[in-house]
Chains A and B, each alone.
Chain A
């Protein structure tokens, strides 16, 4: 993997408007930056006023260097990336500044010349591969377009080159993929195709805006590996926009931290992530959930929301959220303080604070003792799932070509959830996690098997129209914006479940709503607000409050924190943990992020292709013996420099076909597959201890021989 070059070139300080770069040491003549952004100020104008999405932003990327641009969502990362591409839409305007590419100020070029650079010298890959390819055109045609346009190739020559490019980004049958339409490819393949498109004209600079955010972790690991390799072999420079510090750590040599459209820190990746100087950077690093962290601690979070400026800053932008802020911070804007090594920080106290970590969460209530012994928990489970199976879209028809076997979403799953227990479900998208959650809430009817809630069959009850049990089980899901009606106030949205529960006194309901809002840490006055007036984290709090309205015993959290920034994610995770401790709630916590699960869950189910491949107490699942899929999943987790012990990473092949058939669901991608036995026979379940089970044909003893993915965990007693 890439590491920071030993001799850090003294980058020109990213001070706003700095004109003369510092004299470089004579011994190592510096290559001129390929991209040099200076004093870039960008505003969005609309009816309600102007928003400064970037203020006086400066940074430089040298040839062959990958620079990370990090910050919470809304901090202006994409805006800057789009400004470089001249693709700012929606009323965005560059007010001032220079964007020097290879020494030329792009802003001075006519639009047609900038367009000619796009896709040729400067190429881009965006976040969401599922929507970045045109559904109506073949993949090959879309990759060929810039080749034909910029390089003047004939369609036939381009087709040859397209296959080379696809092979280069690791696609095994380029010809088939080139002829395919986007929907016929998996997300990972689509992202590879987009990368192939970007590489086509051999650009000098890549703009990567969250290129892996929408992908599963195992796929993400492979795409990052590919990008790192390509940047290295093609001597590419890249601007890598991301909110994921672990990934930045893996691919970027330098990193620039953005807050409220202002650069607050810049420097070599290793240094910034291991010894962040700016309080905001400290907060971002601290809030990252880590598998290796002590689970009894609450995650530090950054309270508040991203600053939105409308003019030049009059104080430190971070002051409203900074735990170290004082009068000086609030009365004057901060200048970038740089040293000769290319490190810069926009905080006058940075030196004084160098040894001070981001503060721990204040007043953490004592964590409830771990759920009683396994035997006790199991004696009276709250939820019992027995041989659950769900098939979607099966259809019978008299016309033979219309008959469908349907897709198996969940293939025979059994588990229990104890009272006050948090059971995590991890797995990639499409593995059946949400279907399990929906079946537990009787939102979807199982094709086979039963779900007992407190001893009663929830599905049957709901069928009979009896809602009492259902009120005791609630759902919080990912998209906090879509789950609230934009035309209803928060209070009205929370009132509804209360009315449905038969609470007649309006005044009493109002008090309950106020109480619930306070309970999730929001001012009671928020009842009068509309969803668009809330931040993402606040909306998710409202969703949680609404789920709590009927005083449930059990909550299914379906990717409840996945769409949130780490800073906010930590906050919501803490809230959920607190509610569990105080109200004795049980959760089914569904997520694709095993680090998040390791923070909140007592037990974990690792699912693949609708089957449970491993289950057990979190402490056991994180240590060997591992199921081969769990091992790959754990090894794909991006980690910060300080956690990094060079463990060999297990990279899974892209899924070739949907899992199915008689054998092991993971057989098509399993790096340790034994042979036909895996394809033909369902794997046996090995039980180690404490209800830790692994379904695999490999004997337990052999599985136990593998090295720990997180050696730093090895000493701890499980649990």
Chain B
């Protein structure tokens, strides 16, 4: 397990290094240059050049990249050109808000999706199963943004039960904070729930037919033990993988969702940075989102290895 984790961490570092190069190069290729933006529209060429020299922008790309990367390793993400502030605190605040959204959504998807899947598998062919399958089908067939619009219209505009957008810091009280989370979270959950439920159902059905489940029954174990102890742990393996992919999807989907619900997270920040050509902010945001995505995948892989003794021990055996 240790060797496995080490290996994965090495890979993670490699991936992030490559990502940082790509991000750096792509933003270099974008129109607009930092020095003239800082100097302002009416600055003379000399002033712009002076700023460029001061910032080191006249040096070769590789040196610039080295300085940027070294800064990141020290925790210094640079300064936003537009906001004229250090990027790190802004970014961390936005990241925190986005993560709350993503983690809450993922937790709901995992718990509700797995429960529905197990229920459908155990009652296979019965009414419960057909209901879950039917609703899942609807969930998969209907496009994501549709739910967002329906939810906003019904709960926000029509019933006026929930705020349709914005954000309240938790310092203002739990309820206002939570009420702003409900609609974006529900939208994200609806995007992903059906797939998890169906996947869990089908792997659970497979596992319930295995010999070890038959043997557990032959030992006189009650159904609840058979399902929860013997079947579920094995049935969850594929679900965990997909949940990890979903976490990535949520991080990506957050950009859209945050825009619809004007929620001030990473998605909004990235959009803002792109619209305003704030190159350092763009670089930092993309890099952090990528890192979060990779970490989510790593966590899922470790979790997968942890529940699957074959992998856990295979790593140390041979």
On A, residues with C-beta under 8 Å from B are 85, 87, 89, 115-120, 123-124, 126-128, 131-137, 145-146, 149-150, 181, 183-184, 194, 197, 207, 399, 401-402, 404, 407
Contacts and interface: CB of A to CB of B under 8 A. Distances in A.
Contacts of B225: 145
Contact of B308 (A118, A128, A136, A184): A136
A129 to B, nearest CB: 9
A116 B216 CA distance: 13
Q: Which of A85, A131, A134, A401 has the most CB of B within 10 A?
A: A134
A132 B220 contact: no
Given A131-B211, A134-B212, A137-B230, A124 B218 contact: yes
A162 to B, nearest CB: 13
Contacts of A131: 210-212
Contacts of B222: 115
Nearest to B11: A399
B276 interface: no
A131 B212 CA distance: 6
B220 A119 contact: yes
Contacts of A401: 3, 6-7
B311 to A, nearest CB: 10
A120 B220 contact: yes
Contacts of A145: 216, 219, 221, 225
Contact of B309 (A127, A135, A194): A135
Contacts of B123: none
A134 B216 contact: yes
Nearest to B314: A183
B318 interface: yes
B100 interface: no
A120 B307 CA distance: 30
Interface in B271-308: 307-308
B219 A135 contact: no
A126 B214 contact: yes
A234 B6 CA distance: 51
Nearest to A181: B309
Contacts of A128: 211
A133 B216 CA distance: 9
A184 B218 contact: no
A183 B211 contact: no
A127 B309 CA distance: 23
A132 B211 contact: yes
A175 B28 CA distance: 62
Contacts of A399: 7, 10
Contacts of B211: 126-128, 131-132
A115 B310 CA distance: 31
B215 interface: yes
Q: Chain A interface secondary structure, helix, strand, loop or mixed?
A: mixed
Given A137-B229, A181-B313, A401-B7, A87 B214 contact: yes
Interface string B133-146: 00000000000000
A404 B314 CA distance: 12
Contacts of A404: 318
Contacts of A85: 218
B102 to A, nearest CB: 28
Q: Which of A124, A132, A181 has the most CB of B within 10 A?
A: A132
Contacts of B313: 181, 183-184
Contacts of A407: 318
A133 B214 CA distance: 10
B160 interface: no
Contacts of B215: 124, 126, 132-133, 194, 197
Given A181-B310, A183-B309, A119 B230 contact: no
9 contacts: A87-B217, A119-B220, A126-B211, A134-B230, A137-B230, A146-B219, A146-B220, A183-B309, A399-B10
A-B residue pairs, 3 tightest by C-beta: A119-B220, A119-B219, A118-B220
Contacts of B218: 85, 87, 118-119, 123-124, 126, 207
A368 to B, nearest CB: 44
B212 A132 contact: yes
Nearest to A138: B309
Contacts of A197: 215, 219
Interface in B1-40: 3, 6-7, 10
A134 B220 contact: no
A669 B207 CA distance: 36
Contacts of B219: 118-119, 123, 145-146, 149, 197
Interface string B184-220: 0000000000000000000000000011101111111
Contacts of A89: 214
Contact of B220 (A116, A183, A194): A116
B212 to A, nearest CB: 4
A207 B220 CA distance: 14
Contacts of B217: 87, 118
B234 interface: yes
B220 A149 contact: yes
A402 B314 CA distance: 12
Nearest to B237: A136
Contacts of A184: 313, 317
Contacts of B212: 131-135
B67 interface: no
A401 B5 CA distance: 11
